[in-house]
Structure 1
Amino acid sequence: MPSIPALDDAGWAKLVQDMAYYFDDLTLKRGFQYYKQRRVSGLTAPSPGLVSAFVDGTKRYSVEIVLGALSIGGCNCPVAGPCKHMAAVLMDFAGAQGRPVQLLANAKASTRVRAEAASARAVPETGRAAGGRPGGQDALKERGRLIPAMNVAEWHELFARCVSPLAGSIRNPQYADEALTAMLRIKPPMAPELEHLYGLHARLFVLETLLPRAAGKAGGFTPSLGYYTHLAVTELRDDIERCFHAEPSPASDPGQRNRILDTLGLLRQALLAESGGHVFYSDLYYLLWRMWIIPEMYDQALFKEELRLLEEESDSRTASSSRQPLLIARAWMHFCMSGDDKALVLLREASEQPGFYPERLDMFWEPLAEAGDVERLVSWLTETGGLLRGHYRHSLDSYARHWEQAVRLLPDAEPLMWRVLADMLPLSGGIYAEKLLAHGRWRQWMDYQLSSGRDPADFRVRELQPLEKNAPELLLPFYHQAVERHVAEKNRSGYKAAVKLLKRLNKLYKKMKAEERFEHFLGAFTARHSRLRALQEELRKGKLTT
């Protein structure tokens, strides 16, 4: 068939593997029947790697399949996931290539046989189960020999059997360690990439058992965790994050692609089940994209498919708590495809939802900073600055750090940085003042402190040293204004505070070699407040007057 590109041996081996991974035996057998009954028609390849056809079943169904990523394709029949129509199309495709279709029909069984044989060679005879109790350790060990041939769902079914004896245990770090040990000790010798991925899923499963679902809240997590459970969750999440950064990366093995895509599906559903106030899976979802998926991508097909799945979820979610992580995930997909305008619209909507976590914005700045895409980074810092307003509990350290990098690489962006930070006041007050000092903008720093009513007593002496050294005259109104403000309180504590500032002011005048100016000021100050006996007493105690 001239419209169908040739399938090489590597592609054929991958197809057999994918069929075994995504389809169960019954679906493969039914697909084989449809193939033999010649129900497939119009087989074409509209673009490289894409196969489409029609299948006559209860009605005519349209099938589109992406070779090498079967989870991306689909059929418009009512079945969710791989169906007999997709299997029939793939078999028709194989037949058009002159490949043995029967092998696809038996892909599940043949793959298991090969894995079992390989495992049997790897496990010594003395290590095999011999009449072990059903569900016991021997039976689990025997079942574990098939781990290399299992898909992710089957792994998690096995995990559930492994931890069932711990069902009544208190959820604490000890439980997490025991559960993880139970899952890891049944695995056979495996390739490092597969062992790495299996270990990741074992930890994800334990994490799920630590986060029980809230009764009466479909898909929602309980609003709080006990201290020891929270400790176990924190330790486990740190361990999972290290899995994404460690070597070897499972993504480096093409044979792990299907399992990685299933990992994506698992984390997607976990992320979408989170409420705005409990973010356990979000970082893991985005880490998977950044560390394992994106580095191996060659086009935007997977982004588009993920966005389609997220948009389908949008239609079924109305509660604001469940919509927020969905909006941010959709924004991330648009961002990855350079659709910044659409991404920002979604982020603005997400920021209006209760419990918005501004920390999520860091995942948009960080990739741009790492890639050195400075102009786009400046644009994102400018646009997202407004989303941080109103979230006073959020630290702006990351935001400030990325602005610093952007200005270092693109000096022309500095005026824009100052304008954005000024517009974000008072939220940005801390980093705004810090950057003014760092950039030697002494007058602007002092104007900001005076306008915000800050007191010199709020600062340690060393914090004011840069101004004392570079622009001491700017500190004079700062001290004078504060002294008068404390005196105006007309109480003993106010007078004591005023005297402390006057003593620091005296030292400042001495550094400026302007002692006479201070003496003149102090004389006028003392005369003006001569009726305030308590103040006069504090001045004498401070040895400013006699």
Structure 2
Amino acid sequence: MKSERTLNTTKWHELFREQTAPLASHVRNLAFVREALAAIHIARPELSPPMNRLFELHAHLYLLGLLLNRSPDQTGHGGAFIGFHTHEAIADTQKRIAALLHEQTVVKDETSYWLMIGETVDYLRKQMLTETGTKLYFAEPYFWLWHHTISPYQTDNRLYLDELQKLQAAQTELGQALSRYSWMTAQAWMHFFLRQDTEAHAALMELNNRIHLQPTDVFLLLQALENTGEWERLAVWLNKLTPLMEKERQLTLNSFYRYWDAVIEHLPALQEQMWEPIIRALPYTESIYEEKLLRYEKWQQWMDYQLSTGTEPLSYRVSVLAPIEKHSPELLLPFYHQAAERYVLLRNRDGYKTAVKLLKRLAKLYKKMKDEERWEAYIDAFSTRHSRLRALQEELRKGKLIT
């Protein structure tokens, strides 16, 4: 059926409210989302593919609001407990919203569609600017709407400048209900879309000084630059943001330095820019430093670092050492030699067994290098030097390293 509801997102939300009203007493879980979507789809009007996608987006945004206990006037409403099954439904709904916003939609000149995109921006802006708590749910859809749906069709800066004005006006309109974090973040994002990176970075720094910037909101910018293949610009942003990232958790740092891999793949000459901050932050960035050394085949530096820190070869899976064994097996010799000697110094059976395990790997290395004569000389000298350690001699014989 067709109706005036097709021409206004407010009418769509009225439709959503009518169709989901009978489910008001239902537990907010995945089943609730499925039932609510089914009820909404029964009354869905005929729409063009782009408009149908927008209808789906609004249906999921509306349901996200219900799951988050947002009141009918679409302002925040705190204090309501959200249980595990509701969180599960929220996460599932967020994934669908993200998928809808990442879909490629070709719209040449559909006036009604772009009018409703404007209404969607207005809707998301209000949702985002009135969210409470540490977990924000509407900021990311707001960003991806601009990046994936609006930006590809812009030939000038008018919409971004207009949005900055609307964000400024929201400070007065919303008063105490305004989420200053989202408000400041959104302004930084608009400067980013305007390619005013200095202003965008300054806004993020101010936000971080006042409240503390969430890494996820930084990664949105980095992901956008990766999507558009702006590698030099991405490198500049990575350099600017490094001071903010250095104290973050390991998982966040891993994600941050993944973007350097993308840059270096396309602009290898920029690799040196990545190393300085990683080295400066050692040992905090130890795992990242080691991973990057292996990734970029800096075998000698990787081995020097292991020897300087006293790392055990058995701390690594064989697959980690395999590339070095293939390309520069000689580098592994001191790694195994020193570790084997350390285990002998423990003067116990377990230590001897571990030493033999390392020595057997050494034997394979020497064989790979076609230097068995050197290995035979070493193991003979090793056995003679420790001839008084009867238990060690027994383990060497068990390992078939001596007769």
Higher relative CO (Cα under 8 Å, sequence separation at least 6) belongs to 2
Of 23, 30, 48, which residue of structure 2 is paired with 1:166?
23
Amino acid at match of 1:496: K
What is the TM-score of this pair, normalised by structure 2?
A: 0.84
CA–CA separation in structure 1 for the residues paired with 2:388 and 2:283: 39
Equivalent position of 2:185 in the other structure: 328
Q: Per the alignment, in what secondary structure is the counterpart of residue 189 of structure 1?
A: coil
Equivalent position of 1:517 in the other structure: 374
Equivalent position of 1:394 in the other structure: 251
The alignment status of 1:478 with 2:335, answered yes or no, reads yes
CA–CA separation in structure 2 for the residues paired with 1:391 and 1:317: 32
Q: Quick check: 2:231–2:263 contact (8 Å CA) kept in 1? A: yes
| Distance verdict in 2 for CA 1:401–1:224, change over 3 Å | farther
Q: Per the alignment, in what secondary structure is the counterpart of residue 251 of structure 2?
A: coil
Amino acid at match of 2:251: H
Q: Quick check: 2:231–2:266 contact (8 Å CA) kept in 1? A: yes
| Distance verdict in 2 for CA 1:242–1:338, change over 3 Å | same
CA–CA separation in structure 2 for the residues paired with 1:399 and 1:433: 16
Amino acid at match of 1:238: K
The alignment status of 1:284 with 2:164, answered yes or no, reads no
| Distance verdict in 2 for CA 1:223–1:500, change over 3 Å | farther
- By how many angstroms is 1:204 displaced? 0.8
What is the TM-score of this pair, normalised by structure 1?
A: 0.64
Q: Percent identity between the aligned chains?
A: 41
Computing the radius of gyration from Cα coordinates, the structure with the larger value is 1
Q: Quick check: 2:76–2:132 contact (8 Å CA) kept in 1? A: no
Output one character per residue of 1:351-370: Cα deviation in whole Å (capped at 9) or x when no partner: 56788542333322233334
The alignment status of 1:148 with 2:1, answered yes or no, reads no
CA–CA separation in structure 2 for the residues paired with 1:403 and 1:443: 22
| Distance verdict in 2 for CA 1:434–1:223, change over 3 Å | farther
CA–CA separation in structure 2 for the residues paired with 1:432 and 1:175: 46
| Distance verdict in 2 for CA 1:529–1:313, change over 3 Å | farther
| Distance verdict in 2 for CA 1:162–1:393, change over 3 Å | farther
Q: Per the alignment, in what secondary structure is the counterpart of residue 44 of structure 2?
A: coil
CA–CA separation in structure 2 for the residues paired with 1:472 and 1:258: 64
Equivalent position of 1:295 in the other structure: 152
Structure 1 residue runs of 5 or longer lacking an equivalent are 1-118, 123-144
Amino acid at match of 1:146: E
Q: Quick check: 1:184–1:199 contact (8 Å CA) kept in 2? A: no
Number of residues of Structure 1 aligned to a counterpart in Structure 2: 399
Amino acid at match of 2:372: E
The alignment status of 1:410 with 2:271, answered yes or no, reads no
Q: Quick check: 1:327–1:346 contact (8 Å CA) kept in 2? A: yes
- By how many angstroms is 1:175 displaced? 0.9
Amino acid at match of 2:6: P
CA–CA separation in structure 1 for the residues paired with 2:359 and 2:208: 47
The alignment status of 1:262 with 2:119, answered yes or no, reads yes
Structure 2 residue runs of 5 or longer lacking an equivalent are none
Pairing 1:41-440 to 2, within 5 Å after superposition: 145-149=3-7, 151-212=8-69, 219=76, 225-246=82-103, 248=105, 252-274=109-131, 277-311=134-168, 322-351=179-208, 357-395=214-252, 398-426=255-283, 428-440=285-297
Output one character per residue of 1:231-270: Cα deviation in whole Å (capped at 9) or x when no partner: 3222222222232244655785222333222211222233
Q: Per the alignment, in what secondary structure is the counterpart of residue 394 of structure 1?
A: helix
Of 323, 338, 349, which residue of structure 2 is paired with 1:466?
323
| Distance verdict in 2 for CA 1:242–1:408, change over 3 Å | closer
> How large is the Cα RMSD of the aligned pairs?
3.4
Q: Quick check: 2:69–2:77 contact (8 Å CA) kept in 1? A: no
